[in-house]
Amino acid sequence: MSASREVEQEKMGPASPSDLIEESTTDEGRSVIFSIKAKPGREEAIADWAHRIVAAARAYEGNLAATVIGTPNTGEYRVFHHFQGARSLQSWLDSPERRRLLAEAESILESTPTRQLVTGLEAWFHLPSQGRAMLPPPRWKMWLTSVVAIYPLILAFQTWLSPRMLHWPLALRAAVLPLVILTLMTYVVMPVVTRVLKPWLLARR
């Protein structure tokens, strides 16, 4: 996956459903990221909404991954969706279910969203930052964080799963490794790692 970067920061007008969307293109598919911040007292409502739209996206045809990144009780979240390609992504963006969910979110948003365009692994490193647009961490920090996160997963895979697949066809064995590792990285590991390392990742030195 390419780690090249294209960042666009733009202040938006009054919030609308389309304002919530950030778009990322990679060779492996298309991704969208949108940021939300709840009105005071609506933190629980926005958290529930974020998980509902992720669940809806996961069930949609062509979706490869969907997750929520944010700190509980802050009311600030980033929701990440990754689709097979432009056609499946556009189908999701135009779907009645998504439009209905975005319309619901308008009543519980506090601030005008900010939009950034990113590419590659940077989607894993978009952390909420008081509603402000922000640059992704330096590439060397993203690389180091990814290595530290993925190494234990590969070690565990080679220790416990690989010996049990010795008699499987090569094509099947080769498919299991990225399926397991990327699923864990997207849904489990990176949201936790980026939250724990947030101060270091956002430090510009």
CATH of the domain at 52: 3.30.70.100
Residue 164 banded pLDDT, cuts 50, 70, 90: very high
Specify the higher pLDDT residue, 205 or 198. Answer: 198
Please name the residues in contact with 153: beta carbons below 8 A apart, sequence gap of 6 or more: 180, 181, 184, 185, 189
Evaluate whether residue 5 is within a structural domain. no
Question: Residue 88 pLDDT more than 80?
Answer: yes
Do 164 and 193 lie in a common domain? yes
Q: What angle do CA 86, 3, 176 make, to 5 degrees?
A: 70
Domain presence at residue 4: no
The overall average pLDDT reported for the chain is 75
In-domain check, residue 130? no
Residue 112: the pLDDT is 53
Any domain includes 105:
yes
Task: Tell me: do 39 and 96 sit in the same domain.
Answer: yes
168/79 same-domain check: no
Q: With both helix axes pointing from N to C terminus, report the angle between 96-106 and 43-58 in degrees, rounded to the nearest 10.
A: 170
**Class of residue 37 by CB neighbours under 10 A (exposed 0-12, middle 13-18, buried 19+):** buried
Residue 65 token pair: 């991954």
Q: Does residue 48 belong to any structural domain of this protein?
A: yes
C-alpha–C-alpha distance, residues 99 and 170, integer Å: 43
Q: Is the pLDDT of residue 93 over 60?
A: yes
User: Are 9 and 114 spatial neighbours (Cβ–Cβ below 8 Å)?
Assistant: yes
Could you tell me if residue 90 is inside a domain?
yes
Q: Which tokens belong to 26? A: 């990679």
pLDDT band of residue 22 (cuts 50, 70, 90) is very low
Boundary-marking domain end, from 125, 160, 182: 125
| Angle in degrees, CA 22, 101, 26, rounded to 5 | 25
Same domain, 27 and 120: yes
pLDDT score of 157 more than 90: yes
* Domain hosting residue 72, numbered range: 10-125
In terms of Cα–Cα distance, which of 34, 6, 2 is closest to 121?
A: 2
Which pLDDT belongs to residue 26? 46
The partner residues of 37 in beta bridges, in order of sequence, read 76
In this structure, what token pair is assigned to residue 193?
């790692």
CB-based burial label for 68 (10 Å; 0-12, 13-18, 19+) = middle
Say whether both 76 and 151 belong to one domain.
Answer: no
> Domain total for the chain?
2
What is the structure's pLDDT at 78? 82
pLDDT in tens, 107-146: 898 865 554 545 556 656 655 444 444 456 788 888 899 9
**Listed residues 101, 125, 149: the one ending a domain:** 125
- CA dist 85 and 97 (Å) reads 19
Whether 29 has a pLDDT exceeding 70, the answer reads no
- Structural domain includes residue 192: yes
Of 192 and 166, the structure prediction assigns the larger pLDDT to 166
Same domain, 93 and 180: no
Residue that finishes a domain, picked among 125, 160, 189: 125
Considering the domain architecture, whether residues 21 and 100 belong to the same structural domain is answered as yes
Which pLDDT score, from 0 to 100, does residue 152 have?
94
Are residues 194 and 95 located together in one domain of the fold?
no
Within a domain: 155? yes
Q: What's the CA dihedral at 60, 70, 16, 131 to 10 degrees?
A: -160
Whether residue 77 is found in the same domain as residue 151: no
